[in-house]
Structure 1
Amino acid sequence: MNSEQHPLEPFLPENARLLMLGSFPPKRIRWSMEFFYPNLQNDMWRIVGYLAAGDRMHFLEPGGRRFDKDRIEAFCRERGIALYDTAVEVIRLKDNASDNFLQVVREVDLEALLARIPACGNIVTTGQKATDTLRAVTGCDEPAVGEWVPMHFAGRDLKLWRMPSSSRAYPRPVEWKAEFYRKVFSESGII
């Protein structure tokens, strides 16, 4: 089986206070934009829209068939949200986007990411695969969903937050998932 390289560069605004790390993007055929969490079947931008504007459709283009990349990027820059994934090279064991069938070949260089965002004090993993991969890199404890554990890495004291998956494969309402994200967004000064 052939491996895939990560198709996106890290999104690292200089003012980032929060780094959100997923596992790996879905196949391009599932993308509605060239950015993180591009699949319309993923609720991340609905969660963020609900928390930021009280409207889960806030980051969708008119018609609801695409996410609005420009508004999402502007929001993340303004609020200090950095985005990337915990894996930079994977093998898809099945022809889908499921984390259960991703084999991580190479993990993120977390130290290099953090060096580019010196104000970042909070790292969020957005699902179990991302959490497991990051723990393999850092050796830190696993937080409960919606909670954080202290993490000392690359000479910095950080908080590692574990959020529920934003995938619709994790069948909970946007509002339910948003309550977990509200805590870290509030503490990070995002909302």
Structure 2
Amino acid sequence: MDFYYPNWNNDMWRIMGLLYYDNKSHFLREPLKTFDRESIIKFLIEKGIALYDTASSIKRLQDNASDKFLEVVEQTDIRRLLNLLPQCKAIVTTGQKATETLLKQFDIQEPKLGDFSEFVFNNRALRLYRMPSSSRAYPLPLERKVASYRIMFQDLQMM
């Protein structure tokens, strides 16, 4: 899938399926072991969720998906993106590397996992949420990840 969180072993779309449809398979094409890209995009548009990477260019230092072995070559200009998204209320990072990369661009206190920090950008109040990774390599049961995301979406009045 040419989109975000395409790895079958990543639970992001299962988390979203459980949160919004009480069905972890909602966005899955199980027999094909793929995700339903079109359904995901429609859902994200309806909910007002935008996805983007904190790095525009990276180098993989080892042949695996671990963020530990990523070198950020070029950071994404998050300030520019926020200027293009005037209704944005929050930024969410789902990994330590993404959080560290974002914090280099803003004067924000790093939030604890599952929590948020508030900050001001161009006279508007925003939040930075640091959510659990949806990767199965992150040792937290799916139900606990869903509970953290549910709190965040409820805080943002998106559920």
State whether residues 42 and 168 of structure 1, in contact with CA within 8 Å, keep that contact through their aligned partners in structure 2. Answer: yes
| TM-score, normalization by structure 2 | 0.95
**Deviation (angstroms), 1:153:** 2.6
Deviates more, 1:118-127 or 1:147-156: 147-156
* Residues 1:47 and 2:15 are matched in the alignment: yes
Q: After superposition, give the CA deviation of every residue in 1:41-93 in whole Å (9 maximum; x if it has no partner).
A: 11111111110011111110142510000110000000100000111111111
**Deviation (angstroms), 1:154:** 4.0
Distance 1:163 1:64 in 2: 29
Distance 1:188 1:173 in 2: 23
Aligned AA for 1:75? F
Q: 1:62 to 1:95 in 2, by over 3 A?
A: closer
Structure with larger RCO (C-alpha < 8 A, sep 6+): 1
Please state whether the residue corresponding to 2:29 is helix, strand or coil: coil
Task: Give the match for residue 106 of structure 1.
Answer: 74
Distance 2:7 2:125 in 1: 33
Task: Give the match for residue 7 of structure 1.
Answer: none
Aligned AA for 2:12? M
State whether residues 121 and 159 of structure 1, in contact with CA within 8 Å, keep that contact through their aligned partners in structure 2. Answer: yes
Identity %: 50
State whether residues 50 and 175 of structure 1, in contact with CA within 8 Å, keep that contact through their aligned partners in structure 2. Answer: no
* Residues 1:157 and 2:125 are matched in the alignment: yes
**Deviation (angstroms), 1:173:** 1.9
| TM-score, normalization by structure 1 | 0.79
Please state whether the residue corresponding to 1:168 is helix, strand or coil: coil
Within 5 Å, which residues of 2 pair with 1:133-148? 133-148=101-116
User: Any unmatched runs of 5+ in structure 1?
Assistant: 1-32
Please state whether the residue corresponding to 1:41 is helix, strand or coil: coil
Aligned AA for 1:69? R
Aligned AA for 2:101? T
State whether residues 90 and 102 of structure 1, in contact with CA within 8 Å, keep that contact through their aligned partners in structure 2. Answer: yes
Task: Give the match for residue 96 of structure 1.
Answer: 64
Q: 1:168 to 1:94 in 2, by over 3 A?
A: same
- State how many pairs are aligned: 159
More helix by share: 2
Task: Give the match for residue 78 of structure 1.
Answer: 46
Task: Give the match for residue 5 of structure 1.
Answer: none
